[in-house]
Structure 1
Amino acid sequence: MNRKNDKEPADSTPADEAPSAQTAFASYAAPLVDHAIEYANAVREDASPEDFHQLRVSLRRLRSLWWAFQPLLDEGENTRQRALYKYLATAAGKTRDWDILIELLAQESGIARGLTPTLENARGDALATSRETLSNADVKHLLREALSSATRELNTAHERVPLGKFANQRVAASERTLKKRMKRARHAKRSNYTAFHDVRKAGKKLRYLLEFFGPVLKGGRKRTVKRLKQIQKRFGTLNDIVASEMLLRDNAALLAASGDTDAVLQWLKKERKRRMRSAAGLLRTL
């Protein structure tokens, strides 16, 4: 399947007028909706880890965009839409989590050789569940309706907010959240993974906003983007280990007869501690 990564944004604003946030919304949201539908269709036909990964990314970006436009949208409806994107991303994530565990253990071939067939079978079961959930949800209809509803609400609003002003305000709000979470994580106990996970989520949201609004923001953001890439890489590898360890523990009974799960858990525990130290070290330098 040929998947396009970029689509031309629609622009209904005259060239001599500064665009408003309300009129610009669809140019951000429509390509994301198209991508999400594209990958939702792809996972029905193809079981590749990359399609599930890209579907989750598309849904997370949609959730971040709806958060960005939260001040301009009905609060209740906005909350419901963001919950929907999270639900769909979680459905895709049930398969993606197995992919991550399998990929991690493939790097340590000697430690999980006996587990591999059982992990692949468990991944197949998760795939069937993910596909059923996404099919029953009718992703295309839900996302198209969410886009239409939000666009209609924004286009009929009496007030207009300059896009540049709005974008800078929302990015600033996201930056404040990230700084607070980084401060909390710096003072958290090494065992408090939640504090580190909150940094990762806040950093990811800010990076998405910078990608959305980059051309209309005041000042350069190269340093910020570089820092966010560092956070995502370092904290992402930590999250992979923690999620894999939880998945293995939650399915201990299923995997008990398939190999030495204790050895795998010991390796994951060791990796978690190492990557926690690495993440904490990065925080001290930022």
Structure 2
Amino acid sequence: MKSDSESTLQPTPEASAQQAFGAYAGPLIGETIALADAVHDDPSPEALHKLRVSLRRVRSLWWAFAPLLDKGENARQRAVYQFLATAAGKTRDWDILIELLKDQPGGAKDLLPKLQQARGETLAVSRDTLLNADVKHLLRDAFTTTTAQLNTAHMPRIALHKFAAKRVNASERTLKKRIKRARRAKRSDYAAFHEVRKAGKKLRYLFEFFGPQLQGGHKRMLKRLKRLQKRFGMLNDTVASATLLRDNAALVSASGSGSGEIDAALDWLNRERKRRLRAAAKLLD
């Protein structure tokens, strides 16, 4: 199945990167606005996940075109997308924790209702944040501002296929450096593995945006990146869930759950983290 970026009508390789921006950003902005609207009616984990992913792709697209944009303005726009993604992601983080603990042998049944309550309270805050932020206005304004900047800047025009190759090559170099660093890192150094995940995700998005403009096949690399992202994402789920539960232990305990049950859940998440870290490390060989 093709991604939304792949199904969009692609610019010609000879078009300038400046001209091509709108062809990438327009449909993506429209999709993200629709997903933000849907969250107000659909509180499901899947709806929030789709919105967060779409906002990440928007942020990655602005990063891809960063060399052609004013640094200050680009940083401001990407910070807005990060803020919106975080708002959507807070509820999603509870969903991940709940799904993980459903697999914990025997120990989390009494804890789950408390986590569901916390998830509902967080959802209300996430919805209010997204509504008050006026996502539609923010994204449309960013699109208009960036498009105007690209069309009026005095920077030399660069062919899209050349620009795409440069950005993908730069992203590939970053990923290779981070993989090399993670191979040398201790297994307790989760930050090194997290950096690999972020670099791999960024490169994957670039391949999805610019794939038709690149010379040579990239399907094998894209397949490997998807596998890496999935396995490293599973690792990140355990780390983030343990942090979330630990940070909210007092809140959950106040709702009636004993510290013993929370400690048991944290121990299980720690074992899962170690198992998933070993599985993720195998992809670096």
Same fold flag (TM > 0.5) = yes
What is the aligned residue count?
A: 278
The one of 187, 206, 228 equivalent to 2:203 is: 206
Q: Percent identity?
A: 65
Matched residues in 2 for 1:195 and 1:173: separation? 19
Q: Equivalent residue of 2:157, what SS?
A: coil
Structure 2 counterpart of 1:173, which letter?
A: A
1:161 matched to which residue of 2?
A: 158
Matched residues in 1 for 2:7 and 2:191: separation? 38
1:235 matched to which residue of 2?
A: 232
Matched residues in 1 for 2:204 and 2:28: separation? 15
State how 1:274-285 maps to structure 2 within 5 Å: 274-284=275-285
Mapped pair 1:42 → 2:38 = yes
Per-residue deviation, 1:157:
2.9
1:114-156 residue CA offsets vs partner (Å, 9 max, x unmatched): 0111111000011011111111111100000000011111122
2:263 matched to which residue of 1?
A: 262
TM-score (norm 1): 0.93
State how 1:99-138 maps to structure 2 within 5 Å: 99-108=95-104, 110-138=106-134
Contact 2:14 2:159 in 1 (8 A): yes
Contact 2:29 2:140 in 1 (8 A): yes
Superposition misfits of 4+ residues, deviation over 6 angstroms: none
Mapped pair 1:171 → 2:172 = no
The one of 68, 88, 91 equivalent to 1:72 is: 68
Contact 2:5 2:208 in 1 (8 A): no
Structural RMSD (CA) = 1.8
Contact 2:171 2:199 in 1 (8 A): yes
TM-score (norm 2): 0.93
What are the ranges of 5 or more consecutive residues in structure 1 without an aligned counterpart?
none
Distance of aligned partners of 1:56 and 1:70 in 2 relative to their CA distance in 1, 3 Å threshold: same
Structure 1 counterpart of 2:83, which letter?
A: Y
Matched residues in 2 for 1:187 and 1:235: separation? 17
The one of 188, 193, 205 equivalent to 1:191 is: 188
Contact 1:36 1:59 in 2 (8 A): yes
Contact 1:10 1:26 in 2 (8 A): no
2:249 matched to which residue of 1?
A: 252
Structure 1 counterpart of 2:219, which letter?
A: K
Matched residues in 2 for 1:59 and 1:6: separation? 13
Per-residue deviation, 1:109:
5.9
